[in-house]
Amino acid sequence: MDDDEPARRRFLKNTLTLIPAVTLFGGAGLVAGNAAGAPPTAPGSAQSAAEDYVPLYFTAEEWQFLLAACDRLIPSDANGPGAVAEGVPEFIDRQMETHYGHGGIWYLKGPAIPAPPEMGFQSTLAPRDIYRTGIAELNRHCQATFGGKRFHELEQAQQEALLSHLEKGQLELSACPGAMFFQQLLQNTREGWMSDPIHGGNRTMASWKLIGFPGARADFADWASRPNRPYPQGPVSIAGKRS
């Protein structure tokens, strides 16, 4: 979230270069194409877009944070609907009740020591614990700094500044490193925005339409040999939904 480049533009650019490595149809998967354009996010729209969903893991306060944070990472704009409109918070919530969310794919018994990325995940916290600990500590920081307000109650510019500080390691949390908390949130937001709708995110396959990804179509091999030519058909989800 560099100051000299819009966060959404950099997010798009960086994520599109990672598409071959992203699990598009798995759960722990970016912005919707919209020819007519979509208006920027209005205050309160993040909450209203997800008002019918009851979280499986997150508490009411944690859910409010997740809605606000995802809305800042991928907001709705002229490129199309953002993370909240596409169901990314629901995707993340579902993931917290899976083997992945419980940390079943890592060794979490320690010791956890500072190490380079090639040494693998270094924490005793499972993803669900990273969220629970990180959200609680960040909200305490917000309340101490902004007159009792929690993250979701702040102005959008304040929220973006806090996320930027976490990303750059400029805001440390005691029980959960700030940068690790941000990376967990960012990674899951990416995954939810690029996932198949069956997992809760990418409801309208907006991210797939934006990048020209055909989805779960049975056969599109003939287009593999046509570089730089847009795929003419819209994407299809695993469940057979067409867009």
What's the pLDDT tens digit per position in 221-238?
Answer: 777 788 888 778 888 888
Q: Would you state the pLDDT for residue 189?
A: 97
In a domain? residue 219 = no
* Average pLDDT estimate for 14-42: 37
173 belongs to a structural domain: yes
Task: Return the pLDDT at 107.
Answer: 80
* Integer CA distances (angstroms), 147 to 53, 58, 139, in order: 30, 25, 11
* Token digits of residue 52: 């019918």
Q: CB within 8 A of 71, min separation 6: which ones?
A: 41, 45, 46, 82, 83, 84
Q: Is residue 235 part of a domain?
A: no
| Domain assignment present for 39 | yes
Total domain count for the chain?
A: 1
Highest-pLDDT range among 31-40, 99-108, 190-199:
190-199
Rounded to a whole number of angstroms, the distance between the first and last alpha carbons of the chain is 31
With a CB cutoff of 8 Å and minimum separation 6, the contacts of 188 are: 28, 88, 91, 92, 95, 127
Three-class secondary structure of residue 230 per DSSP? coil
Whose tokens are 């500072």? That residue is 114
- Structure confidence at residue 38 as a pLDDT band (50, 70, 90): very low
Handedness of CA 27, 191, 163, 39 (dihedral sign): negative
Per-residue pLDDT, averaged over 83-93, amounts to 96
- pLDDT category at 21 given cuts 50, 70, 90 is very low
- pTM of the predicted protein model: 0.77
Decide if 242 is inside a domain. no
205, two tokens: 């396959």
Q: Is the pLDDT of residue 28 over 50?
A: no
Residue 34 clears pLDDT 60, i.e. is over it: no
Q: Is residue 86 part of a domain?
A: yes
Beta carbons within 8 Å of 141's beta carbon, 6+ residues apart: 171, 173
Averaging pLDDT over each range in 49-63, 178-192, 226-240, which range is the top one? 178-192
Residue ranges making up the domain that contains 21: 7-206
The torsion defined by the Cα of 192, 197, 199 and 201, in degrees rounded to 10, comes to 30
Residue at 87 is within a domain:
yes
The per-residue pLDDT for 50 is: 61
CB 104 within 8 A of CB 60: no
Q: Quick check: is 126 in a domain?
A: yes
1 has a pLDDT exceeding 80: no
Give residue 41's pLDDT. 41
Q: What is the DSSP letter of 84?
A: T
| The most confident of 43-47, 87-91, 104-108, by mean pLDDT | 87-91
